[in-house]
Amino acid sequence: MELNTCSPNTIPVVSTFASPFEASPDQNDSKRKPLSLWPGMYHSPVTNALWETRSKIFERLLDPPLDAPPQSELLTKTPSESRTSILYNFSTDYILREQYRDPWNEVRIGKLLEDLDALAGTISVKYYRDIDQNTIEKKTGSLVCDHCSDIDSMTRPLYLVTASVDKMVLKKPISVDTDLKMVGAVIWVGFSSIEIQLDVIQPANGSSASESVALTANFIFVARDYKTGKAAPVNRLCPETEAEKLFYEAAEARNNLRKRKTVGDKKEIENGGVNRLEELLAEGRIFCDMPALADRDTILLRDTHLENSLICQPQQRNIHGRIFGGFLMLRAFELAFSTAYAFAGLMPSFLEVDHVNFLRPVDVGDFLRFKSCVLYTEHENTDQPLINVEVVAHVTRPEQRSSEVSNRFYFTFTVRPEAKATNTQFRIRKVVPATEEEARRVLERMDADHLQSIKYTNK
């Protein structure tokens, strides 16, 4: 099934690219793109297409006017101005299809995470007045709108960083044989924050618009002054349609809930959760002190651990020279998937990502370690038991004997129905902590999951 390709804001994607270092076809301009703007061909073709669009912007920012004054006048924009889409021609482009195929003839979720992060970044980034929009349209086939654009090109630029992924939910399997569309827009702004909602759409025959949405994701970006690094104000947002107003109100409510998560709230949760903490630890102590008497349907949290590590390579960087957040999500997802697989003993099925925190940037050359575990399981619903996996990324510096957390990821999986049908003895084991630190992590995650379900109940 083919999707409409006529939208003026649709970025076409092809499976191969011309060399970014070849000379410009314009004989009057023999310049080649700066090396820093081309992170190589490691990433997906969609991510590369988005970065090619953004590189037109950052060519101007190689030597930003840091001494120029900051933006003084904020603009008022609408969600429709930022709406951008990506089209995947899976039905006709065999090479593109093979780049995204997983073993079950579905789209590889890890590659999609890269593209989601790249699209969210493209939507949030700013265009400047002196950018030749006709050149961008000619290069990408579309005009990508922004939400941080400053009419006065002589003001000091801002830069935007991914603060978090608030929620990502897979609503149905995504086939790799059918055309796919990814659409995103700004739905809410604060003083320096921007929330972007992305939908992955794959219509089936006779399906309604809502049924065609296969995945939804919400990214939050924060603006920083290019010179001071401090929070900088972003343009205002004025929702126009009823749907846009509902999205804005829901995002505003989520933002207020995040602000209310103060230290006092955490103490209240801790005080009220003493009994829950003791209950969790009681089962863990049996495993540690009397393993022969432990419940065979229970396993210690520490026994679900998996880990891998890597040196961050130049091919994994983004156009800012830092390690691409989408790459980190891809690696975290694939480790989480392996953890769920080894734990369940059957092929897992991805359901959602809960609030990814980007705590610090990761640089080329960093020694990065990913550590995963199954935090807890929910098996009351035998048709769809849940496996909640935590992945923590650490930037390790052996010379300094230090290790810092750069990212925390929380994934939820179930088991593929077809895999479960072939194993009538299948069961999901209960995971219990052995230490108070582990028990607190489990309770904090359970409470956070509960808060997330409340935040998105009326979405």
pLDDT of residue 13: 65
- Average pLDDT rounded to a whole number, residues 380-398: 88
Q: Is residue 396 over pLDDT 80?
A: yes
At 178 the pLDDT is: 93
User: Among 43, 188, 178, 26, which residue's Cα sits nearest to residue 106?
Assistant: 178
pLDDT at position 2 is 57
Indicate whether 15 pLDDT > 80: no
Average pLDDT, the chain: 77
Beta strands in 67-109 (DSSP E): 76-77, 84-88
* Helix/strand/coil percent split, the chain, to 5: 35, 30, 40
Q: What is the pLDDT of residue 362?
A: 92
Provide the angle, in degrees to the nearest 10, between the axes of the packed helices 436-455 and 242-259: 150
Q: How confident is the model at residue 21 (pLDDT cuts 50, 70, 90)?
A: very low
More confident of the two residues 176 and 2: 176
Q: Judge contact between 152 and 65, C-beta under 8 A.
A: no
Q: Does 109 or 453 have the greater pLDDT score?
A: 109
Most confident of the following: 32-41, 151-160, 221-230: 221-230
Residues above pLDDT 70, as percent of the chain: 71
pLDDT range class, residue 262, cuts 50, 70, 90: very low
Tokens of 212: 């065609």
Residue 305, classed as helix, strand or coil, is coil
Select, from the ranges 183-187, 260-264, 272-276, 383-387, the one with the highest average predicted confidence (pLDDT): 183-187
What pLDDT does 185 receive?
92
> Which pLDDT band holds residue 152 (cuts at 50, 70, 90)?
very low
Is the pLDDT assigned to residue 266 strictly greater than 60? no
Are the beta carbons of 219 and 355 closer than 8 angstroms? no
pLDDT band at 217 (very low <50, low <70, confident <90, very high): very high
CB atoms < 10 A from the CB of 145, how many?
20
Grade residue 70 by pLDDT with cuts at 50, 70 and 90.
low
pLDDT tops 70 at residue 361: yes
Tell me the percentage of the chain whose pLDDT exceeds 90.
33
Decide if pLDDT at 14 tops 70.
no
pTM of the model: 0.78
447 band by pLDDT with thresholds 50, 70 and 90: confident
Residue 197 confidence (pLDDT): 94
- pLDDT digits over 179-197, tens only? 999 999 999 998 888 999 9
pLDDT at 264 over 80: no
Least confident of 64-68, 106-110, 195-199: 64-68
Question: Would you tell me the crossing angle of helices 263-272 and 436-455 to the nearest 10 degrees?
Answer: 110
Tell whether the model's pLDDT for residue 130 goes beyond 90. no
* pLDDT at 141 > cutoff 80: no
